[in-house]
Amino acid sequence: MKQEIGLLVVFLLVFLYDTFMPKKALNATAGFTCGLFAIFTLMGFGALMLDSDVTAFAGMYQTSAIITTIKNILNVGVLIVLVQSCRWANSDFTSVRRGEFYELLLVTLFGIYLMISARHFLLFIIGLEAASLPLAAMVAFDKKHYESHEAAVKYILTAVFSSAVFMMGLSFVYALSGSLYFADIYVALGSQPSVMLVVAIAFVIAGMGFKLSLVPFHLWTADVYQGAPTSVTSYLSVISKGSAAFAFLVIMAQVFGTFYSQVWEWMLYAVIILTITVGNLFAIRQLNMKRFLAFSSISQAGYIMLGVIAMNQTGVASLMYYILVYIFSNLAAFGVIQAIENKTGYVKMDDYNGLYKTNPRLSVTMMLAMFSLAGIPPFAGFFSKFFIFTGAIQQGSVAIYVLVLIALINTIVSLYYYLLVVKAMFINPDECKIPTFASAWTERLGMWVCVAGIILLGIVSCFYNTLLEMSLQSSILASL
């Protein structure tokens, strides 16, 4: 509960600052928000020491050490996004509305918190909507760009549609069980699946699939990622996706855990294979860096889902660790894209040819991000991929070996397109379209943090060890 209250306080302070401060002081809104949020993030880690299991609102809301931790992980990601977006927020065109940007962002984060902590579907829906709808306004933030509007419309339509599908599934569940509490539903459903339940589970997977951009529910992703302002894209790709993955895990374990092998294991198999393969194959053909990362993030979502299908403690820990590493790797990539876009407006992969000659640091950052996303040691991505596969295989069936083998073969495809970016920067004949420039210190700070994360998160073992210890003690899978 402390984190939600803290976030509300941050939100109110930013809101009041933005509304009542004189015009001159508004230039500091970005700094004010970042500073406030940094303090809040630190306090989140403090809350980890104090917060034991808390239940509120008649059991609708629950938090525990592991849930506080996933919120902290997301906070770190949001903080990096905020720092990286400072320059964009202060640019001439956006600065009049930067207050709204921060407020909307904090509201979505609040929704995400509720979504993660909800143990009752009503609260979950409130969180889901609060996390989705303001994002549409954020996607449309670049008023003068036509693509931004188009993206926003696409986003809001799919978001609403997916919520509708999700709630359709819930209504079936309610009809079967007569309750919206996770625990009650779990008991009421018994152990024999009915046809209605199968349909309900399919609808729930589809509804969450939109949010996670799993194939075949991914069609909005590329256009929205491309059209949205890059800061919003990076927020969408890591925070929104990471939180949805964890919430999905919680629902599947605590509500439908009984029907794992009977019903939804096979649905997820199909979805994972499709997601990883389609995401990878489409990423190969992309020329726009943001579209490219959109498809890369689709396939990454498929790998994250391996942590759900594992349904064991290693899987939970690996999923959280994967999200953590993915936040750092993807934000490093988006940081570079953003720095270049802000300075020169280039976002095509061809424009990156010969980048190493003009901007060696940016290209090394980008290379590390690509290596980490592809799972190359000694960078963190290797460890997160290895552990998520280890978690999945712990499940032990022959089918899971086949699934992991398909996922592994797909990592080769993904390595190919990640190397295309490296090739453009280091090997391709240099037209040097992008001149040498110095990025803003905020952008540099964001990238430095990401690079440190990429290098240290893997080699320093305490991060994963802590997560695994925590997940061994947690009750997330207790109902299984």
Give the residues lining the site for other proteins (CB under 8 A): 314, 317, 371, 376-378, 382, 386-387, 389-390, 393-394, 396, 401, 404-405, 408-409, 411-412, 415-416, 419, 422-423, 426-427, 461, 464-465, 468-469, 472
Cβ atoms of 80 and 331 within 8 Å: the answer is yes
- CA gap 356, 373 in Å, rounded: 20
DSSP 262: I
Quote the least distance from Cβ 362 to other proteins, whole Å.
Answer: 16
Alpha helices (H) in 395-478, listed in sequence order: 398-426, 441-459, 462-473
Residue 458 Cβ vs other proteins, minimum distance, rounded to whole Å: 9
* Six-digit token string for 331: 């934000």
Exposed e or buried b per residue across 98-130, where buried means at least 16 C-beta atoms within 10 angstroms of its C-beta: bbbbbbbbbbbbbbbbbbbbbbbbebbbbbbbb
Residue whose CB is less far from other proteins, 210 or 371: 371
Q: Which residue shows structure tokens 């990454």?
A: 300
Q: Min. distance of Cβ 285 from other proteins in angstroms?
A: 16
Min dist CB 312 to other proteins, Å, is 12
Using the 8-state DSSP alphabet, how is residue 142 labeled? -
Number of other residues whose CB lies within 10 A of the CB of residue 296: 25
Min separation Cβ 267 and other proteins, Å: 23
Smallest separation, CB 238 to other proteins (Å) = 24
- Bridge partners (DSSP) of residue 288 are 348
User: At residue 312, what are phi and psi to the nearest 5 degrees?
Assistant: -145, 170
Would you say 416 or 448 has its CB closer to other proteins? 416
Closer to other proteins by Cβ: residue 91 or 461:
461
DSSP-based three-state secondary structure for 57 = coil
Nearer to other proteins by C-beta: 337 or 467?
467
Q: Please report, to the nearest 10 degrees, the dihedral formed by the alpha carbons of residues 86, 90, 93, 99 taken in order.
A: 80
For 229-358, list the strands marked E by DSSP: none
In whole angstroms, how close is the CB of 409 to other proteins at the nearest point? 6
Minimum CB separation from other proteins for residue 397, in Å? 12
Q: Which two tokens stand for residue 161?
A: 């549609």
Cβ nearer to other proteins, comparing 278 with 470? 470
Give Cα separations from 314 to 298, 383, 475, 478 (angstroms): 23, 13, 13, 14
Rounded to the nearest angstrom, the gap between the alpha carbon of residue 399 and the centroid of all alpha carbons in its chain is: 27
128 vs 283, beta carbon nearer other proteins: 283
Assign residue 214 a region (left: φ > 0; alpha: ψ between -120 and 50; beta: otherwise): beta
Q: Which of 132, 82, 74 has its CA nearest to residue 107?
A: 132
Closer residue to other proteins (CB): 343 or 423? 423
Q: How far is the CB of 244 from other proteins (least distance, A)?
A: 26
Q: Which two tokens stand for residue 471?
A: 């997940």
Query: Measured from the CB atom, is 51 or 469 closer to other proteins?
Result: 469
If the CB atoms of residues 335 and 458 are measured against other proteins, the closer one turns out to be: 458
CB of 322 to other proteins, least distance (A): 15
Q: Which two tokens stand for residue 447?
A: 């990238």
Nearer to other proteins among residue 200 and residue 400 (C-beta): 400
How far is 216 from 278, CA to CA, in rounded Å? 9
- Taking the complex as a whole, how short is the minimal distance between the CB of residue 361 and other proteins, in angstroms? 13
CB-nearer residue toward other proteins: 127 or 375: 375
Report CA-CA distances (Å) from 478 to 110, 254, 258, 311, 315: 26, 8, 12, 11, 14
User: Rounded to the nearest whole angstrom, what is the least distance from the CB of residue 330 to other proteins in the complex?
Assistant: 20
> Of 235 and 371, which CB lies nearer to other proteins in the complex structure?
371
CB of 376 within 8 A of CB of 382?
yes
Q: What is the CA radius of gyration of the chain?
A: 21
List all residues 6 or more positions away from 449 whose beta carbon is below 8 Å from its beta carbon. Answer: 80, 83, 328
